[in-house]
Amino acid sequence: MNSDPPRLIGFRTDSDSDFAFAFNDANFSDRLLRIEIVPDVCKSDEAAELGPNRKRRREEIIMSQVDDVFTNREEQILSCNMPDRDDGVAHENEDEEAVAMIEESPSGEEAADSNDSSWNMGYTAVHRVKTIHISSPILAAQSPFFFKLFSNGMRESEQRHITLRINASEEAAFMDLLNFMYSSSLTMTTPSALLDVLMAAGKYEVTSCMRYCSQLLRSKPMTRESALLYLDLPSTVLMADAVQPLTDAAKQFLVAQYKDITKFQEELLNLPLPGIEAVLSSDDLQVASEDVIYDLVLKWARAHYPMLEYRRDALGTRLCRLIRFPYMTARKLKKVLTCNDFNQELASKVVLEALFFKAEAPYRKRTLAAEDLNPSCHRFIERAYKYRPVKVVEFELPRQQCVVYLDLKREECAHIFPAGRVYSQAFHLGGQGFFLSAHCNLEQQTNCHCFGLFLGMQEKGKVSFAVDYDFSARLKPNEEYASRYKGNYTFTGGKAVGYRNLFGVPWTSLMAEDSLYFINGILHLRAELTIRK
């Protein structure tokens, strides 16, 4: 059965409706709302039991507190679901309910004098009481919460007197929310007040008010602190369509501020969980390689979850999905398998998944197609890395050898014209680190630009290393790898060797639409390296 409130005849539910004249007016009301205001419950002990470093904002505490349930003989109870707490890591099951209490008698004093034991067990002292005249059609049209309250078909839905119990910190926001349901406007529009009303609107399912608060908050200057607040709302508010533009804006603000991972690493380590998730979910980070992301996530988890049990839980449920394992180097993937911070079953799964993605084109194609159907999932989408990922196949016998595959997009090649270069991620041979670099060079003899490919050695110093190498590329029409240059070179620390004009053609011919070297917009390069005896 559909429980959404209908568009009642004679009442408008759009944003320009104005029934302010009827607010708290007995002449235009059919019910009496008795609001019992109780002191806020301290949750500090509970937070301590759930693990370290799990801070809750005041607004989240408001949303997570349980309204007291009264079981007096003269009362009927209607229970509705409250938003779940979203404190980052799932541990204990914390089911909570919001309780709307329907009275046959408007007298709160009679209830307070009751000696019934079941009453006393759930009793919380009422700080003060407010009584408001309300119109059930107006509230039901704006809120599924009130619609269900007034139309559940039970005897209490026919009662004229209704009691709601709220915490003292909710009072101002709740009263402003009631006013909004009549007038489509708010009396207080400071960021703090808007956030309070947004929380209340989420609790009582007033979508129009959530959208209104979201729009007003987005119109105000965004700061680091406000962005983190917007991302730390309870899940039922955070996931509402009406709030998505606000949370998207908060994510974009944080990504823009911390886009350079290396520059802001210390600040990133101090971000709370929603903040680090927002930043590391971006495809456009300025980061050397995915290895850097892995190290950052691990360092953040160790700082915020000192206890191994909580750290493993956080990595498994929230943090692991921030790491794009298929774009990590093979050496770093080996470290994942031996990292004690990860559950071993999870570590094996993500590494195996990454290796299949690297090695098997059909698996890679199926995986990327599946991600296209789920835009929120980016685990297999390549970031804009400073160093291009490579695929490496290693051999130990009969000689130490590796085959390195480097793919460059046409736009990446265009970007390095007229004098730029692209570096690959590091790979290893015989315990030494190497890298490939693609250059756009100016040929002195012909005065034409051309494409060059070089092999460099990372380690500096007096290390001497003799290597045979063979550079090749896929060519049309057969799309097989064809050798371009072979040679050998004895490396010393920091040296490089290569060819200034790998294809022997000008840059314009390489980049032409009918180029022999780009296949579906990709330039496929390969380097076979063998240690010389």
Residue 31 has pLDDT above 50, yes or no: yes
Specify the pLDDT at position 441.
93
In angstroms, rounded to a whole number, what is the distance separating the alpha carbons of residues 72 and 115? 10
**Band of pLDDT at residue 382, cut at 50, 70 and 90:** confident
Structure token pair of residue 217: 């908050």
Average pLDDT score over the chain:
80
pLDDT confidence bin for 128, thresholds 50/70/90 = confident
Examine the pLDDT at 39 and tell me if it is beyond 70: yes
Give the whole-angstrom CA distance, residue 440 versus residue 502.
11
Q: Which residues contact 233 (CB under 8 A, 6 or more apart)?
A: 59, 60, 86, 198, 199, 202, 243, 247
Residue % of the chain over a pLDDT of 90 = 55
Could you give phi then psi for residue 197, rounded to 5 degrees? Answer: -65, -40
- pLDDT tens track for 206-216: 999 999 999 99
Task: Name the token pair of 469.
Answer: 């190498």
Q: How far apart are the C-alpha atoms of 59 and 63, rounded to whole Å?
A: 7
The pLDDT value recorded for residue 368 is 62
Check residue 80 and give its pLDDT. Answer: 35
For residue 346, give the 3-state DSSP assignment: helix
Sheet strands side by side (includes 31-38): 75-81, 97-103, 161-167, 31-38, 128-134
Q: Model pTM?
A: 0.72
| Residue 145 neighbours by CB distance under 10 Å | 20
- Check residues 18 and 470 and name the one with the higher pLDDT: 470
Split at pLDDT 50, 70, 90, the class of 138 is very high
Question: Residue 124 phi/psi, 5° resolution?
Answer: -125, 130
pLDDT of 174 strictly over 80 = yes
Q: Which of 74, 127, 122 is nearest to 99 (CA)?
A: 122
- Per-residue model confidence as pLDDT tens digits over 277-319: 999 999 989 899 999 999 999 999 999 999 999 999 999 999 9
More confident residue, 110 or 526: 526
| Residue 150: per-residue pLDDT | 86
pLDDT band at 98 (very low <50, low <70, confident <90, very high): very low
Helix (H, G, I), strand (E, B) or coil at 437: strand
For the chain, report the end-to-end CA distance as a whole number of angstroms: 78
How far apart (Å, rounded) are the C-alpha atoms in residues 313 and 243? 28
- What value does the mean pLDDT take over residues 357-382? 67
Length of the chain: 533
Residue pLDDT, tens place only, 217-262 = 999 999 999 999 999 998 889 889 999 999 999 999 999 999 998 8
Residue 8 pLDDT exceeds 50? no
pLDDT above 60: residue 455? yes
Token pair for residue 117? 């034991």
Range of lowest pLDDT (2-16, 64-78, 243-257, 310-324): 64-78
> Which domains does the chain carry?
19-40+125-258 (3.30.710.10), 259-385 (no CATH), 387-531 (2.60.210.10)
- Residues 6+ away with beta carbon under 8 Å from 60: 85, 86, 87, 232, 233, 234
Of residues 460 and 448, more confidence is placed in 448
Q: CA nearest 438: which of 425, 424, 428, 457?
A: 424
Q: Do residues 467 and 491 lie in contact, with contact meaning Cβ atoms separated by under 8 Å?
A: yes
Range with lowest mean pLDDT among 6-20, 292-306, 514-528? 6-20
